Structure 1
Amino acid sequence: MASILRAAGLTVRPVERAGAADVGALRRRVAARSGPLVCAGLLEAWPARAGWNPADLAERHGERRVTALMDLPATHVLFPQDQRHYERELAFGEFLDRMTATGPTAPCYLAYQRADEIFDPADCDFASLLPPDGHGTDTRVWIGSAGTRSMLHSDLKDNLFCQLWGEKSVILLSWRDSRAAYPFPGNLVNSRIDLAEPDLTRFPRLRKAVLHQVRMRPGDLLYIPRGWWHDIRAHTPSVSVNHWFGEPLGLPDYLRLLGVLGPAYWRATTRDFVAHGLLRREESTRFFFSPASTGRRLYDALRTGDFSHSNDPSADA
């Protein structure tokens, strides 16, 4: 995808890489939050790196029932239908068979799955990488076919994204360039841009932004600082795990972004504050694992003091 972006005239730089197994470089980058960092080969000693491949997973966990997203659309930012339309319950072994056989035109994904609900969390030794910091953490597993996509979005916490099997590409954009991400008016953490088909007529601010790109191979770890926008796509059937940690972005950060985005965003936030906060109307889930709308989150902030509780994956861990 980086070649598509460069051909469109956009600036794309490689993500900085640390030396093999350089835990110190990772810790310094996390402390500084100075940008993303790839640590190649940092996961080679993990049991998950050796054992979380489809054959071994099927042998050890194949009878377990899971709920996966099947026959997903291969294009566009939003799902044509509610996400629940794509959910199917099936045996994990059956899903793994489908995952390895499915092409990218109708991908399938066991995604946003808490690691400890299926696997031994000790297989991923995050504690040896970063000491506890007093904030909640959450670890999720992402297992899917070629063609799976997490479209351009922003997370409120720091993130360690780990590639265990297969290959994915990640495109990143700094939080400070959030206006160039063109968030949806009602949702400040999801972008309207499909980076595979960049429309610079609709989204001209992207021309002045700097994008960062990395192809993740087995054993690679990518540090994504909180707020950084990222688009993740699988080139092959893939097994990944991510770990959210640290102090989250808070209400002042989002209010500053809301302030510079303008009246269309203020109107959408007010609408959703009333509809999904005061009136408690159910929100649609046409984003990939839709977070609550900005208006609903603002309502929660006024009611509970926590703007991001409904979008904090560790909050209900």
Structure 2
Amino acid sequence: MHSNPYCWRRLYTDACLFRSLADMQAAIADDGALALSAISRLDRTLVIAGAAGEGRADLVHAVIAKIQSVCLSAASDRFFDSSFSFGPSPASNLNIPSFAREVPCLQNPPSMVAFQRSYFGQPFVLKGYISEWPALNEHPWRSPAYLRQVAGPGRVIPVEVGKDYRASDWTQTILRWDDFLDVLASSPVDDRHSVLYLAQHNLLAQFPRLRDDIVIPDYIYADMPVPADYPDYHPPGNEERLILNAWLGPNGTISPAHTDPYYNLYAQVVGRKTVWLAPPHVTPSMYPYAPSSAPESLSSWGSTHNPAANNTDPSLSNTSRVDVFSSEEAQSRADFPLFFEKVVPEAIAVTLEPGDLLFFPPGWWHAMRAEDVSFSVSMWF
């Protein structure tokens, strides 16, 4: 029998809504556990099912807000003078051996025409370009208190467990937002505790008030050409032709070198993050994992399976076996000779500060390392 995933997602969404609405009466006299369970269930409709169905997302948000206001003590408005802890800013974080030069920083933002004609093919940084966003000022994302207040009590979010999704013990779980913020605001992560990372999640859709704290750059609306070195480029297929994702995690969190199929404007809101990049044509020298559908004998892709591979479209999870942030001593030239010979001379890197905006085209290899508690927004277009 033919299965329609959308129908199942809508059925799940509607069932969760009906169950949560039915629970509201009992939750009023409850000690709060029933209300928290209902909110967690509704958050799962947003995270897992995308609140499938016309108007369902708005209804889910409205029901969550109603449960919070009637059944729970909402986070009070208060001054957001607290902040995540950050270490001292060193002169440079680019203490990695696998790059040849820094990402160019443009003195002035290019015009839309110049962006489309002259700047679309290479990465660049605009220092301080987003420094006027509310997220860096009157609605500070560096404040755990503000982030709690925006969401309200009882919310849950998806997190990765583990520093690196290539590791065999890496997994994912659903965690209370308040607990996640407590972990980020506590002592630095060490080897005794699992690293928790909110990665590639549309948090701004789950918590819509955060969406009001950013300003989408005009570059997003440019009619972008198909890059010569990435002929499979197509803009996102949604109505906005835009995919927003949030990335929030502790110091030391790493996204291994991988490629994405879209143009990317990457906004650094909180903390510092080091980014490594290399052009698409070095792909044969990046030692990528084999796609799930490829035979293990396909030597050009390597013989090790990528545990995070996307079976539907392997290009979305094209990940390198090379750890670009490791020292040369920890990573022998004998293991990855083509990487050191072909990739390193063309690789570029930069440490983004709060307020910086990084642009890079589709198909570019990129790896990220958080130098502090880091909150970033990627805008795929």
Query: Does the alignment reach a TM-score above 0.5?
Result: yes
Report the CA distance between 1:159 and its aligned residue. 0.4
Structure 1 distance, partners of 2:158, 2:266, is: 20
Partner of 1:264: none
Q: What amino acid sits opposite 1:23 in the alignment?
A: P
Distance 1:101 1:27, change over 3 A: farther
* Identity in percent: 27
Q: Please give the per-residue CA displacement for 1:148-206, whole angstroms capped at 9, x wherever unaligned.
A: 11110000000011100111100001111111211112255111111122432111111
Larger radius of gyration: 2
Q: How does 1:20-39 map to 2 (within 5 A)?
A: 22-24=108-110, 28-29=114-115, 31-32=117-118, 33-39=120-126
Structure 2 residue 288 is the aligned partner of structure 1 residue 200: no
Structure 1 distance, partners of 2:325, 2:222, is: 37
8 Å contact 1:163–1:219 — kept in the other structure? yes
Q: Pick from 351, 354, 357 the counterpart of residue 221 of structure 1.
A: 357
Q: How does 1:1-317 map to 2 (within 5 A)?
A: 2-5=94-97, 10-19=98-107, 22-24=108-110, 28-29=114-115, 31-32=117-118, 33-50=120-137, 51=139, 52-53=141-142, 54-69=144-159, 71-72=161-162, 74=163, 78-81=166-169, 83-84=171-172, 87-90=173-176, 92-105=177-190, 106-114=194-202, 115-120=204-209, 121-131=211-221, 133=223, 135=235, 136-186=241-291, 187=314, 189-197=318-326, 198-207=331-340, 208-209=342-343, 210-245=346-381
Aligned residues: 234
Structure 2 distance, partners of 1:49, 1:88, is: 27
Q: What amino acid sits opposite 2:323 in the alignment?
A: D
8 Å contact 2:275–2:352 — kept in the other structure? yes
Distance 1:49 1:194, change over 3 A: same
Q: What amino acid sits opposite 2:169 in the alignment?
A: Q
8 Å contact 1:147–1:235 — kept in the other structure? yes
Structure 2 distance, partners of 1:27, 1:220, is: 22
Task: Tell me the secondary structure at the aligned position of residue 95 of structure 2.
Answer: helix
Q: Please give the per-residue CA displacement for 1:258-315, whole angstroms capped at 9, x wherever unaligned.
A: xxxxxxxxxxxxxxxxxxxxxxxxxxxxxxxxxxxxxxxxxxxxxxxxxxxxxxxxxx
Distance 1:200 1:175, change over 3 A: same
Distance 1:11 1:219, change over 3 A: closer
**TM-score, normalization by structure 1:** 0.67
Structure 2 distance, partners of 1:234, 1:30, is: 30
Distance 1:26 1:40, change over 3 A: farther
Report the CA distance between 1:239 and its aligned residue. 0.9
8 Å contact 1:147–1:233 — kept in the other structure? yes
Point out where structure 1 has 5 or more consecutive residues left out of the alignment. Answer: 246-317
8 Å contact 1:62–1:93 — kept in the other structure? no
Report the CA distance between 1:122 and its aligned residue. 3.4
Q: What amino acid sits opposite 1:60 in the alignment?
A: V
8 Å contact 2:273–2:352 — kept in the other structure? yes
Report the CA distance between 1:104 and its aligned residue. 3.8
Q: Please give the per-residue CA displacement for 1:12-53, whole angstroms capped at 9, x wherever unaligned.
A: 21000012xx33268634544331101000001111222222
Task: Tell me the secondary structure at the aligned position of residue 4 of structure 1.
Answer: coil
Partner of 2:90: none
Q: Please give the per-residue CA displacement for 1:204-254, whole angstroms capped at 9, x wherever unaligned.
A: 111222211100100000001111010001111111111000xxxxxxxxx
Structure 1 distance, partners of 2:282, 2:161, is: 33
Pick the structure with more strand per residue. 1
Point out where structure 2 has 5 or more consecutive residues left out of the alignment. Answer: 1-92, 225-234, 236-240, 292-313
Structure 2 distance, partners of 1:122, 1:200, is: 47
8 Å contact 2:99–2:349 — kept in the other structure? no
Structure 2 distance, partners of 1:177, 1:104, is: 34
Structure 1 distance, partners of 2:245, 2:115, is: 22
Task: Tell me the secondary structure at the aligned position of residue 261 of structure 2.
Answer: coil
**TM-score, normalization by structure 2:** 0.56
Distance 1:12 1:89, change over 3 A: same
